[in-house]
Amino acid sequence: MLGKYSKHSKILTLFIIMISVFMVISIFLPGKFLTIRNFQSMFSQIPEFGLLAIAVMLAMLTGGIDLSIVATANLAGIVAALILTKYTFPQIGVYEELFTIILAIASALTVSLICGFLNGILVAYVGVPAILATLGTMGLFSGIAIIITKGYGIIGFPEKFLFIGSGIILLIPVPMIIFILCALVAVLILNKTTFGFSVYMLGSNPISARFSGINNESILVKTYMMSGLFAGLASIIMISRVNSIREGYGSVYLLQAILVCVLGGVDPSGGSGSIFGLIMGIITLQVLQSGFNILSFSPFFKKVIWGLILILVMVINFYSAKLSQKSIKRLKTN
């Protein structure tokens, strides 16, 4: 009963924060924030970043973390880009072109699944702490990406592929549609399947999860593979939106993805957090981001603010956890 109440109050707090940030920005930047163009640009940035945030969240739910998401996305994007640029040329037929695009996407997703699989094996079977395992694979994946590209960028993809990143169907940008579908799938998996339930159980207490018959290792490997897959999806949207890829693209997303998870109420020690909370966190961050862009803050100053917000949220969480502990005690004594 109490658990349910506190869960709702967490979502409510997030909702209030989101609305108030939105209001403050709208009031202080009249005529600049509430424009269709600004909203379109916000909508185009949310998907790739949101998918990466879901990837981090999945790992966090199990009590781990995935620092390799951006490196995974880069590697997957580079593989897709190589296929796209090698096998498409002007005289190619429509079907061949479509086939190449599908092949590129499939290989990017396969690469990202393999990256996730490696993380999962290291964390689950070898027993490496998730921070170090994914820190190591982050270096490994970005290293492979550098070796493949020699640090150069790959540019110029076929017109049809660019539709994924910049197309619009019924006034909604295609990346947004992909993101909403993926988020729905994630919600279904986490809330309606045995696997999702096991992830939460494993995250809140791995030992009791083991004793209640859950195969912790297999759940962990699957979770990190899913996390990799979301990073791969993000990479496809990313390379198609900017029509290029280079090792190091989107490296700011790592801090922001972790920030959004924490902001969205995901517990870094595992076991709690929801996609709805995460999405509210993403919207809050994006509103702030676009406000900063309108105010033309320097990227360095933005770095300061992101770091400050991350720490501030953690401090607030510390106090709210303390408060709720006190109220539980009071309920018990009454």
Distance CA 263, CA 131 (A): 20
Q: How far is the CB of 76 from other proteins (least distance, A)?
A: 16
Nearest to 250 by CA among 117, 72, 57, 41: 72
Are the CB atoms for 279 and 50 separated by under 8 Å?
Answer: yes
Binding residues for other proteins, total number by CB under 8 A = 51
Binding residues for other proteins restricted to 196-225, rule: CB under 8 A = 206-207, 210, 216
Of 269, 325, 327, 328, the one binding other proteins (CB under 8 A) is: 269
- Closest to other proteins by CB, 183 vs 214, is 214
- Closest to other proteins by CB, 31 vs 299, is 299
Distance CA 218, CA 151 (A): 36
Here's the x/- map for other proteins, 48-77, by CB under 8 A: it reads as: ---------------xxx------------
- Closest to other proteins by CB, 101 vs 202, is 202
Dihedral angle over CA of 318, 320, 321, 324, nearest 10: 160
Distance CA 96, CA 90 (A): 11
Does residue 129 belong to the site contacting other proteins (CB under 8 A)?
yes
Q: How many other C-beta atoms lie within 10 A of the C-beta of residue 27?
A: 9
Of 98, 140, 177, 187, the one binding other proteins (CB under 8 A) is: 140
Q: How far is the CB of 285 from other proteins (least distance, A)?
A: 14
Distance CA 185, CA 217 (A): 23
Residue 28, classed as helix, strand or coil, is helix
Instruction: Identify the residue whose tokens are 């490994």.
Output: 140
Are the CB atoms for 179 and 50 separated by under 8 Å?
Answer: yes
Q: How far is the CB of 102 from other proteins (least distance, A)?
A: 30
Does residue 258 belong to the site contacting other proteins (CB under 8 A)?
yes
Does residue 132 belong to the site contacting other proteins (CB under 8 A)?
yes
H or E stretch including 173? strand 172-173
Does residue 306 belong to the site contacting other proteins (CB under 8 A)?
yes
Distance CA 13, CA 19 (A): 10
Region near other proteins per CB under 8 A, out of 103-111, 176-184, 188-196, 255-263:
255-263
- Closest to other proteins by CB, 126 vs 331, is 126
Q: Where are the alpha helices (DSSP H) in 29-93?
A: 36-61, 69-86
Region near other proteins per CB under 8 A, out of 25-33, 120-128, 156-164, 222-230:
120-128
- Closest to other proteins by CB, 298 vs 334, is 298
Q: How far is the CB of 9 from other proteins (least distance, A)?
A: 21
Are the CB atoms for 199 and 190 separated by under 8 Å?
Answer: yes
Distance CA 111, CA 148 (A): 14
Q: How far is the CB of 134 from other proteins (least distance, A)?
A: 10
Q: How far is the CB of 243 from other proteins (least distance, A)?
A: 24
Q: How many other C-beta atoms lie within 10 A of the C-beta of residue 14?
A: 22
Q: Which residues bind other proteins (CB under 8 A)?
A: 63-65, 122, 126-133, 135-144, 146-147, 150-151, 206-207, 210, 216, 255, 258-259, 262, 268-269, 298, 300-308, 310-311, 314-315, 318
